[in-house]
Amino acid sequence: MNPFNYSRRETVQIPVGTTTIGGTAPVRIQTMANTDTNDIEASVDQAVRCHEAGAELLRYTTQGTREAQSLGVIHSRLRSMGITVPLVADIHFNPKVAETAAALVEKVRINPGNFVPGKDGEYTQAEWDAELEAVRAKLRPLLDICRRHSTAVRIGVNHGSLSPRIMSRYGNTPEGLAASCIEFISLCEKEDFRNIVLSVKASNTLVMIHAVRLLVREMDARGMRYPIHLGVTEAGSDDEGRIKSAVGIGTLLADGIGDTVRVSLSEAPEAELPVARTLVDYITARASHAPIHCTPCASLSHYSFSRRETVRVGKIGGGQPPIVVAAEPCSAAPQADYIVGDGMPTFFVMQYGEISDSTTRFLARHPSLVIMLYSRHANPVGELRAAIHSLTAAGLKNPVIVNRRYSETSLSTLQIKAAADFGPLLADGLIDGVMLENLPRTIPQSALNDTAFKILQAARARVTMTEYISCPSCGRTKFDLPEAVRRVKAATARLVGLKIAVMGCIVNGPGEMADADYGYIGAGTGRVSLYRGRQCVLKNIPEAEATDRLLELIAADGRIPSPPVGGR
């Protein structure tokens, strides 16, 4: 990976029905239906809407043989209508269902974490080898069917649903995600099957980013060039879901990694596609940019998170959470940490091309100067990285604020672009603050401030609000998940610092909500189970009572703050 110059990582091209993923193919955008495949009419209608919205692949949950067979009917109906978008069967726990689906659709997704049962606790080497052989025995028939039907396989590893065997050795870590994926690639290669696409996902953007980078590094060392599917699981809804997705996916796209993208929102599937298209088009437009010449600084790593060491200047630097700087004051909340010209430390404004020996000597003599970096380059992330690497290599510890200026009329578009630009710098621990501008000033300063704080939270750099982990729902969900998310958010929005998961079912529940403090998990039609961490504390309660019972649980734990005197 070249951190300064954008180019797509070279991968092999995988056929998926009438389309291809990887190689010289464009980055494909996809979504996942949320209908029950047994409801043929609803599934076909939604597929038509997704196709018209730009879906290049469409995935369906297929939890049983009947659902897989129904997906085959949907496939036939769509083909009779002239719609050739490839369909993907999403399989958990049941390899036999995957075998049925593999003969009916163009692609099957399997999760190594639940492909075969595992035991809790430590593994001896003999137990490890025996379970791995059991996995291979279960995988072999599926791969044989895929080979006969030219069906592609996505090896989809998720944070929080790693197998007990992988957990026993690596824990729930980025290293474990990468290792699980590599293991399944190797099993496929032993069966001489290479029509595979890979994904390692998490709701935590830092885990997702570092896991994918580790996977790519390991694959490169082994000469593997398989395409990669990018996504942030359970990203949520509204602005937060879009920003979180853009931070995680945008960071890796900026690295040149990624051949297909799915943005996971707790909204209608067709709402995900414009977000994915905006994000992909924004990053890939950097191809063939003017070269950026820089030598990477050895002390700055892309493979483990650590903050660049800086001195403390007021609220800025010295290991403090990154700040938000605003160009002008605003009357509405949220307020920035600093307003330009209003009691701020002294800024030294510069861009990469202005770094010279005399500049670095001057800054070394004035460590309390805060560097305000900006870029007008076609690849701003690469140029800003180059500037910070150069300053760090020169031994400077001045704090760095990055200023990005846009010219957008749509707040949503600005949020996606800004999150994709600031995300890599925050994920790499390079900066001490952000300044977001939009000219002309058609977007209120309060909205810019709000966006900046949400970007910091999405990058796990600073917590200023409640964080929501919510799945996009699928055919397994038995209640109105977007409405449940709205209710939970309305009831808990003031619980700053808490992470609350709203999940449609047990498959994406206690495992994949990973590090949430509390969970609101679908347990059946109109029924919800509540979790404290990964422990279920209330089972199968009526959905109508669930939000109030969640608040009672949080209050009983002493985690609901008293309202401020005099109200808000």
Express each pLDDT in 176-218 by its tens digit. 999 999 999 999 999 999 999 999 999 999 999 999 999 999 9
Q: Taking each helix axis from N to C terminus, what angle separates 411-427 and 238-254, rounded to the nearest 10 degrees?
A: 50
Cα-atom radius of gyration of the chain, to the nearest Å?
24
Give 92's pLDDT tier (boundaries 50, 70, 90): confident
pLDDT at 76: 98
Of the listed ranges 73-87, 283-297, 369-383, 479-493, the one predicted with least confidence: 479-493
Report percent pLDDT > 90 for the chain: 82
Tens digit of each residue's pLDDT (9 = 90 or more) over 490-544: 999 889 989 999 988 766 556 656 678 999 988 888 889 999 988 899 999 999 9
pLDDT at 567: 32
Tens digit of each residue's pLDDT (9 = 90 or more) over 131-177: 999 999 999 999 999 999 999 999 999 998 899 999 999 999 999 99
398-422 burial, b at 16+ Cβ within 10 Å, e below that, comes to bbbbbbbeeebeebebbbbbbbbbb
Asked whether 381 and 373 are in contact (CB, 8 A), the reply is no
pLDDT at 224: 97
Report percent pLDDT > 70 for the chain: 97
pLDDT at 188: 98
Query: Is the pLDDT at 441 greater than 60, yes or no?
Result: yes
Give 236's pLDDT tier (boundaries 50, 70, 90): confident
Q: For 21-89, give the secondary structure using H, E and C.
A: ECCCCCCEEEEECCCCCCCHHHHHHHHHHHHHCCCCEEEEECCCHHHHHHHHHHHHHHHHCCCCCCEEE
pLDDT at 270: 96
pLDDT at 453: 97
CA atoms within a 13 Å half-sphere pointing along the CA-CB vector of 431: 31
Give 568's pLDDT tier (boundaries 50, 70, 90): very low
Tens digit of each residue's pLDDT (9 = 90 or more) over 344-353: 789 999 999 9
Kindly report the average pLDDT of the chain as a whole number.
Answer: 93
Asked whether 488 and 554 are in contact (CB, 8 A), the reply is no
pLDDT at 508: 57
Q: Which of 201, 249, 154 is nearest to 512 (CA)?
A: 201
What is the C-alpha separation between 104 and 494, in angstroms, rounded? 48
Contact partners, residue 101, CB within 8 Å, separation at least 6: 62, 68, 71, 72, 89, 91, 108
Mean pLDDT score, 317-327: 96
Mean pLDDT score, 402-412: 97
pLDDT at 562: 59
| Percent of the chain as helix, strand, coil, to the nearest 5 | 40, 20, 40
Query: Is the pLDDT at 240 greater than 50, yes or no?
Result: yes
62-97 burial, b at 16+ Cβ within 10 Å, e below that, comes to bbeeebbbbbbebbebbeeeebebbbbbbbbebbeb
Query: Is the pLDDT at 430 greater than 60, yes or no?
Result: yes
Give 565's pLDDT tier (boundaries 50, 70, 90): very low
pLDDT at 564: 44
pLDDT at 523: 84
